[in-house]
Structure formats: structure tokens, C-alpha cells
């Protein structure tokens, strides 16, 4: 048996012991789409002690992007004078005019890029057309957008702009803790790669103010379980703490070069979140000096109209207030083949993970959630 297997067995045993010692239900939340996928993929929910829950919070960038922002993006993709560059995840998210994929079928020029720099290169090649980069993502991804804007500025490329809906995780975590509707959580499994950029010490005020633990975790099964063991044992000891369980990549102050890039191009500003409304300082908006790269200003886009697809409870799923199986559409009219809400579209979405790995038909809900389910559906 490999060392990893030994480690996982031992970690699971430790988790069991800690969970038994607690004796009552306890919930933690992860706020990273990659944590959602990794934990489901390795079968973590099936080996968790019955009284410990790991709730998926607002960690999937596609899922948290407001419907209004998605509609606006698709409108832009349909314009004949625009080449819209996007990361692949956004392609199948439905808007009021269909998806970007459908927009492409209708003649819109939509390009999937691996890196923001590819969009800048394309703008250089296609000097006669406007190239817009759909900039979504948390702090992990935002520096790449900043770097692309720097590059466009350096090369004096005037036909490049970004439609930015970047998000910051800390204000979202605060909003969740301040919102009474969310299940009481004892701690956060903090996102490993967001923390690579923002550092570990930014979570300290959350630990102090709200009395919850923050444990930064990696993405391998053993790393995930180790972070959960840490969170659970802190509950046993009746302590709250900030623990960095991913020190090989995450430093106290984060990546200073990436942060400097962000600081140069963006400033914190209000952002619209699906299901959570507008949260102050939870987004990144272009600084005045770089507003000429703002696609919303360049194309004079109207303020997005917020709406939710009918019957879809993605907003509640994202904030951890409902489980995918509590949605009437889940697994029926909303599946990965024909998704209605973004949590089913994105491979990192909670609904998608439940559908693919969750064996959801056999999942039973605790009594309290069954009651919530009836309320949601009525």
C-alpha cells in the first residue's frame, strides 16, 4: 500500500474520531469550484462521518457571475464588429439570447482562449475588429487579466478591451457569515489557489470577527482530508484558528508580483453576484487610467437587468442555502447536456458535481433539509 493510501486511511480515522467526539452535526464550507470538483471526484462525501458536512459555497466563477452580466456578454458576442474571447467554461451558460455557443452558431465570432494573452495576440492580428476578453474569475484569474491589459497598453493596442466581472472572495465570505439564512458553519476550507495570490493572513480578521476557523487546503485527496481533519479537531478543542495547510504554495502575504499587477489595473468595487445581490467591494473594477480598456464603456452597454431562470435555485445553491437535489429542475429538465442554471453548466458547479459524482438518487436528506426542500418547492 502506498504512503498516500496509509495517510488517507489514517486521516479518515482521525476525522472519524474527532467527529464522534463532537457528537452533534457540524458544517464547514468550501468556497472554491476546484475544491468542489476534487472532493466529489475522489468520493469524499461518501466517506465523511455522518455528522460532518462540507457545504459548497460561492466558489465557482461561472456560477457566481450574475445573469445580467452573462446576458450582456452574450449580447456582445452577437455583435458583428466584435470578436469575443472567453475561457471555455462560459461557452454554454444560457442567457436570454441563448448561449455563447449558440451565438457562435448564429454567426457571432466567439473564440475560446487558454490565456488572456491569447486575446491580446488576436487583437494584434485582427486590427480591424474589436476584440473583447470576457474576464471572469476570482483573484487567481484576475492577475492574468491585469497582465493582458498591461500588455495591450505596452503595445498600444486600441482594439482590445475587457468585460470584467472579477470577484473577490473575502467580501463574499463576510456576506455569507453576516447572512442569517446560511446554515451555521464552523469554519471555511479556504481556496488554495486564490490564497496563492492573496496570501493567508487576509483571513485573520474573519477568524477574529466571526469566530470561525479558516483552513487553507490543497486539492489532492489527502490534502483535502487533512484540511477537514484540522477544521474538525479545532471544533473538538473548541478553538478557532487560521491554519495554512498548503504552505508549499501559499505564503503569508501572497504573490506580491500578482498583487502589484492587480493593484496597478484594478480597484475594489461593488459587484453583482448570482443569488447574493450586489456586495460592496466584492469585485474588481478598472482604475480610471485604464478605463479605455473597459468594454462596458467602449460599447456603451446598458446596466444589466437582473433575473433568474424560472424555477432555478442556483442562487441558493451557490450560497450554501440549498442543496442541488432541493431544486425541482435538478436532474430532470436541468442536466449537464441541457443545463438551465450555471451550477449545472460549469464543470466546477455544485449541481454538475452532484449530478456526475453524487449518486444523488440515493442521497437522503436530514429532516431539517427535507422541510427546507418543501419550502423551496412550494
* Residues contributing to the site for other proteins (CB under 8 A): 2-4, 6-7, 9-11, 14, 32-34, 37-38, 41, 59-62, 87, 89, 114-118, 136-138, 140-141, 143-144, 147, 191-194, 196-197, 218-220, 222, 226, 245-250, 255, 257-258, 261, 346, 348
Q: What minimum distance in Å lies between the beta carbon of 8 and other proteins? A: 9
**110 vs 136, beta carbon nearer other proteins:** 136
**62 vs 76, beta carbon nearer other proteins:** 62
Q: What minimum distance in Å lies between the beta carbon of 345 and other proteins? A: 12
**Alpha-carbon torsion, ordered 323, 326, 329, 334, to 10 deg:** 20
Query: What is the rounded CA–CA span in Å between residue 322 and residue 152?
Result: 42
Query: What is the rounded CA–CA span in Å between residue 368 and residue 378?
Result: 16
Q: What minimum distance in Å lies between the beta carbon of 147 and other proteins? A: 6
Q: Could you tell me which of 319, 364, 282, 51 has the C-alpha nearest to residue 183? A: 319
State the DSSP H helix or E strand holding residue 356, giving kind and residue range, or none if neither.
Answer: helix 350-357
Q: Could you tell me which of 332, 329, 313 has the C-alpha nearest to residue 321? A: 313
Are the CB atoms for 234 and 213 separated by under 8 Å? yes
Query: What is the rounded CA–CA span in Å between residue 284 and residue 167?
Result: 6
**110 vs 224, beta carbon nearer other proteins:** 224
Query: What is the rounded CA–CA span in Å between residue 246 and residue 226?
Result: 10
State the DSSP H helix or E strand holding residue 221, giving kind and residue range, or none if neither.
Answer: helix 221-236
Q: Could you tell me which of 280, 295, 300, 349 has the C-alpha nearest to residue 33? A: 349
**255 vs 319, beta carbon nearer other proteins:** 255
**11 vs 329, beta carbon nearer other proteins:** 11
**78 vs 343, beta carbon nearer other proteins:** 343
State the DSSP H helix or E strand holding residue 286, giving kind and residue range, or none if neither.
Answer: strand 277-286
Q: How many CA atoms lie within 13 A of 253 on its CB side?
A: 5
**9 vs 375, beta carbon nearer other proteins:** 9
Q: What minimum distance in Å lies between the beta carbon of 117 and other proteins? A: 6
**333 Cα distance to chain centroid:** 24
Q: How far is CA 138 from CA 194, 195, 332, 375, in A?
A: 7, 10, 31, 32
Q: What minimum distance in Å lies between the beta carbon of 139 and other proteins? A: 9
**58 vs 329, beta carbon nearer other proteins:** 58
Q: What minimum distance in Å lies between the beta carbon of 254 and other proteins? A: 9
Q: What minimum distance in Å lies between the beta carbon of 144 and other proteins? A: 5
**75 vs 233, beta carbon nearer other proteins:** 233
**82 vs 216, beta carbon nearer other proteins:** 216
Q: What minimum distance in Å lies between the beta carbon of 364 and other proteins? A: 29
Q: What minimum distance in Å lies between the beta carbon of 349 and other proteins? A: 11
Cell representation of residue 280:
460592496
Residues 6+ apart with CB under 8 A from 280: 171, 270
Q: What minimum distance in Å lies between the beta carbon of 184 and other proteins? A: 26
* Three-state secondary structure call for residue 101: helix
**234 Cα distance to chain centroid:** 26
DSSP state of 358: S
Amino acid at each position: 500500500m502506498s504512503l498516500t493510501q496509509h495517510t488517507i486511511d489514517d486521516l479518515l480515522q482521525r476525522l472519524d474520531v474527532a467527529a464522534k467526539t463532537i457528537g452533534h452535526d457540524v458544517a464547514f464550507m468550501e468556497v472554491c469550484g476546484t475544491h468542489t470538483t476534487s472532493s466529489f471526484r475522489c468520493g469524499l462525501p461518501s466517506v465523511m462521518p455522518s455528522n460532518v458536512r462540507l457545504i459548497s459555497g460561492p466558489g465557482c466563477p461561472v456560477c457566481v457571475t450574475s445573469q445580467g452580466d452573462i446576458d450582456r456578454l452574450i449580447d456582445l458576442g452577437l455583435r458583428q464588429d466584435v470578436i469575443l474571447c472567453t475561457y471555455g467554461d462560459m461557452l454554454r451558460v444560457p442567457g436570454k439570447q441563448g448561449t455563447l455557443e449558440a451565438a457562435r452558431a448564429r454567426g457571432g465570432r466567439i473564440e475560446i482562449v487558454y490565456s488572456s494573452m491569447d486575446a491580446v495576440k488576436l487583437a494584434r492580428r485582427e486590427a480591424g475588429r474589436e476584440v473583447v476578453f470576457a474576464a471572469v474569475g476570482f483573484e487567481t484569474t484576475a492577475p492574468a487579466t491585469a497582465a493582458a491589459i498591461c500588455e495591450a497598453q505596452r503595445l498600444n493596442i486600441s482594439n482590445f478591451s475587457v468585460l470584467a466581472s472579477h470577484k473577490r472572495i473575502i467580501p463574499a465570505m463576510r456576506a455569507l457569515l453576516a447572512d442569517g439564512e446560511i446554515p451555521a458553519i464552523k469554519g471555511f476550507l479556504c481556496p488554495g489557489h486564490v490564497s496563492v495570490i492573496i496570501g493567508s493572513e487576509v483571513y485573520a480578521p474573519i477568524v477574529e470577527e466571526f469566530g470561525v476557523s479558516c483552513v487553507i487546503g490543497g486539492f489532492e485527496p489527502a490534502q483535502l482530508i487533512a484540511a477537514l481533519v484540522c477544521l474538525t479537531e479545532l471544533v473538538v478543542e473548541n478553538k478557532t484558528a487560521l491554519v495554512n495547510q498548503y504552505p508549499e504554495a501559499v505564503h503569508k502575504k501572497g504573490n506580491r508580483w500578482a498583487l502589484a499587477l492587480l493593484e496597478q489595473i484594478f480597484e475594489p468595487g461593488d459587484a453583482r453576484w448570482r443569488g447574493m445581490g450586489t456586495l460592496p467591494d466584492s469585485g474588481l473594477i478598472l482604475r480610471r487610467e485604464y478605463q479605455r480598456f473597459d468594454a462596458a464603456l467602449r460599447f456603451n452597454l446598458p446596466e444589466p437587468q437582473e433575473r433568474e431562470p424560472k424555477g432555478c435555485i442556483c442562487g441558493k445553491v451557490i450560497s450554501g442555502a440549498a442543496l442541488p437535489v432541493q431544486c425541482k429542475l435538478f436532474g430532470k429538465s436541468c442536466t449537464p447536456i441541457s443545463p438551465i442554471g450555471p451550477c449545472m453548466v460549469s464543470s466546477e458547479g455544485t449541481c454538475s458535481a452532484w449530478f456526475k459524482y453524487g449518486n444523488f438518487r440515493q442521497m437522503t436528506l436530514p429532516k431539517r433539509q427535507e422541510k427546507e426542500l418543501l419550502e423551496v418547492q412550494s
